[in-house]
């Protein structure tokens, strides 16, 4: 539990800083400007998840072997160049979409992010493998706090995306320098085996394919929202997603990291032992996720309305339900290490690819009801979770099935009930 909390704080710190600045940016700008920023960040998020996310899934085992280290070094080089080129294309697309050149210029610091993030994969994996979650978490929090001190005044002064972008770049740069220093001073020279025989490219491709399918859904969500509703609708949707999922998505990725680190040497483990690893983290993570939905509900109902204008009210109305969609998503993340272990990632990829059709439904529904779009997204997550569990029949038991289903039902019911009570009190 303590390890999970530290891992969660490590992932939460930069996301919380980004969400806070997004809120300040929205309060001092308009939905259309926020929409252009959201479009660029969608491209960056997809790049980060597909490449950086896949690399981190295999890095904890790869850093222990010579061929694994060699693969990660090659990855660092091509990610730096290829990622920068990809982000340049994203900015050109945002400009062609209609963004003023001045707004596009505020997004240009994003071009250096791939080179910075490529430097963190090896030292971060070494620290995680050594169980140094607390040190990593404190470093991440410190980097986010310092970058907020720089970014927040810029957002309030300039009323554009530059402050948010600078905050993100500073956070990653400070974190990259910090993990290198800690890994070198505490762990020293990395002791590795000469060769492992593992095909790290194949593992990277398997993890990347799943993440492509998952992020493809989220990207298509935004593309569909932008296509059907325009920049203003995309800005509202992206802000709502950022406010609602920053905490819960951090919890999902941190839980994945903890489970992954405990199964990196698990070739001889039985299905019961794999189940024990998953269930050692999933109940705690679901409880923390449910609590975070409550925090999001309070923020959306009582705090954000004091900061944002009336044009954001429709979005704020569905933010707690958006947050609840993360519970089945968290369960999916918990199952990924087991699917990687048994080399059955197709059971994770297939439902995500099928879910692309539902992404179009999400974008289409936004024109008429944000709530309907959120319910479609929730159904999609539950469908993916169910298929992934089918792929792990020897690992999954009844408790593992019922826990996320019951948790999601209770949380959604509490959100709707609390809104009904609040509405009744307001009308009297």
Annotate 202-270 with DSSP letters as a single string. Answer: HHHHHHHHHHHHHHHHHHHHHHHHHHHHHHHHHHHHHHHHHHHHHHHHHHHHHHHHHHHHHHTT-TT--
Contact 25, 162 (CB under 8 A): no
Q: Splitting the chain (428 residues) into consecutive groups of 10 residues, what average pLDDT does each group show? A: 55 64 76 80 79 72 76 85 92 88 91 89 81 77 83 83 87 90 76 56 67 68 74 74 73 72 65 86 87 90 83 84 89 84 81 78 79 88 90 89 93 93 83
- Give the whole-angstrom CA distance, residue 425 versus residue 419: 10
Contact 237, 222 (CB under 8 A): yes
Q: What predicted TM-score, i.e. pTM, was given to this entire model?
A: 0.68
Collapsing DSSP to helix, strand or coil, 281 comes out as coil
CA distance to 3, 16, 260, per residue, from 274 (Å): 18, 32, 11
Q: Residue 255's pLDDT is what?
A: 74
- Give the whole-angstrom CA distance, residue 362 versus residue 223: 10
DSSP one-letter string for 134-167: HHHHHHHHHHHHHHHHHHHHHHHHH-STHHHHHH
Q: Residue 14's pLDDT is what?
A: 63
Query: Phi and psi for 81 in degrees, rounded to 5?
Result: -75, -50
DSSP 48: I
Q: Residue 266's pLDDT is what?
A: 45
Beta bridge partners of 65: 193
Q: Exposed, middle or buried by CB within 10 Å (0-12, 13-18, 19+), for 386?
A: middle
Question: ∠ at Cα 261 (187, 407), nearest 5°?
Answer: 140
Q: Residue 417's pLDDT is what?
A: 94
46-83 pLDDT tens trace:
787 777 777 776 777 777 777 778 888 888 888 889 98
Q: Residue 153's pLDDT is what?
A: 87
């Amino acid at each position: 539990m303590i390890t999970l909390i530290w891992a969660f704080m490590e992932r939460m710190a930069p996301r919380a800083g980004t969400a806070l600045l997004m809120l300040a940016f929205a309060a001092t700008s308009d939905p259309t400007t926020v929409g252009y920023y959201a479009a660029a960040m969608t491209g960056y998020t997809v790049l980060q998840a597909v490449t950086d996310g896949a690399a981190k899934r295999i890095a904890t085992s790869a850093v222990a072997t010579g061929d694994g280290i060699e693969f990660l070094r090659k990855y660092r080089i091509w990610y730096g160049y290829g990622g920068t080129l990809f982000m340049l294309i994203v900015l050109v697309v945002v400009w062609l979409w209609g963004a003023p050149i001045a707004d596009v210029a505020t997004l240009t610091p994003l071009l250096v992010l791939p080179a910075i993030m490529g430097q963190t994969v090896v030292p971060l994996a070494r620290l995680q493998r050594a169980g140094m979650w607390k040190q990593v978490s404190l470093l991440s929090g410190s980097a986010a706090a310092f970058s907020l001190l720089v970014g927040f005044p810029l957002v309030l002064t300039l009323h554009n995306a530059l402050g948010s972008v600078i905050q993100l770049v500073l956070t990653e740069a400070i974190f990259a320098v910090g993990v290198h220093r800690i890994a070198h001073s505490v762990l020293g020279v990395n002791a590795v085996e000469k060769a492992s025989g593992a095909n790290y490219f194949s593992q990277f491709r398997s993890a990347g394919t799943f993440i492509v399918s998952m992020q493809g859904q989220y990207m298509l969500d935004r593309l569909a929202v932008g296509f059907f509703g325009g920049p203003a609708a995309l800005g509202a949707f992206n802000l709502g997603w950022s406010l609602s999922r920053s905490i819960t998505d951090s919890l999902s990725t941190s839980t994945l990291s903890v489970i992954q680190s405990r199964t990196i040497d698990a070739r001889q483990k039985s299905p019961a032992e794999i189940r024990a690893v998953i269930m050692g983290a999933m109940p705690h993570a679901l409880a923390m996720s449910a609590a975070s939905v409550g925090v999001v509900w309070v923020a959306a109902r009582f705090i954000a309305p004091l900061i944002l204008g009336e044009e954001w009210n429709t979005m704020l109305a569905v933010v707690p339900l958006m947050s609840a969609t993360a519970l089945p998503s968290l369960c999916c993340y918990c199952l990924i290490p087991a699917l990687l272990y048994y080399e059955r990632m197709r059971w994770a990829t297939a439902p995500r690819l099928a879910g692309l059709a539902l992404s179009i439904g999400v974008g289409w529904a936004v024109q008429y009801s944000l709530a309907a779009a959120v319910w479609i997204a929730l159904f999609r997550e539950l469908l993916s979770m169910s298929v992934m569990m089918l792929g792990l029949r020897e690992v999954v038991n009844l408790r593992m099935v019922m826990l996320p289903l019951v948790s999601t039902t209770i949380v959604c019911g509490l959100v709707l009930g609390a809104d009904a009570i609040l509405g009744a009190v307001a009308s009297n």
